[in-house]
Amino acid sequence: MLVCSLAILGGLGLLSGKFEEAQNNEPASVLPAGAESLAVHELAGRFPSGDTENAVTVFRRSAGLTESDRQSIVTHGQALGRDRPPGAGA
């Protein structure tokens, strides 16, 4: 009996993922075509999210950084700073 119950519960667990895939929670699926909120939702996708992530880059040489290393670090830093979204870090 216990084995049978576990088999049934296991099968149901596998099917639960199918329900997630079948859901459609997009505003377009529930709002009327002319709804202002739908228009705002569609327009909002055109703008950057504003989410940013911090990053730290570490350059290390066990004998210490050379002058050439330091120049390379500056070059890498400048490359990382290019094409940054407006308002992203300094």
Instruction: Give percent of the chain above pLDDT 90.
Output: 17
- Give the integer Cα–Cα distance in Å for 86 and 90: 10
Residue 4 pLDDT? 60
Query: Residue with structure tokens 């880059």?
Result: 57
Which residues, at least 6 apart from 45, have a Cβ–Cβ distance to it below 8 Å?
none
Close Cβ partners of 80 (under 8 Å, ≥ 6 residues apart): 57
What single-letter amino acid sits at 13? G
* pLDDT (tens digit per residue) in 39-63: 777 777 777 676 667 778 889 999 9
The pTM of the full predicted model, rounded to 2 decimals, is 0.39
Residue 25: band (very low, low, confident or very high) from pLDDT cuts 50, 70, 90: low
DSSP helix/strand/coil, 20:
helix
d(CA 73, CA 11): 55
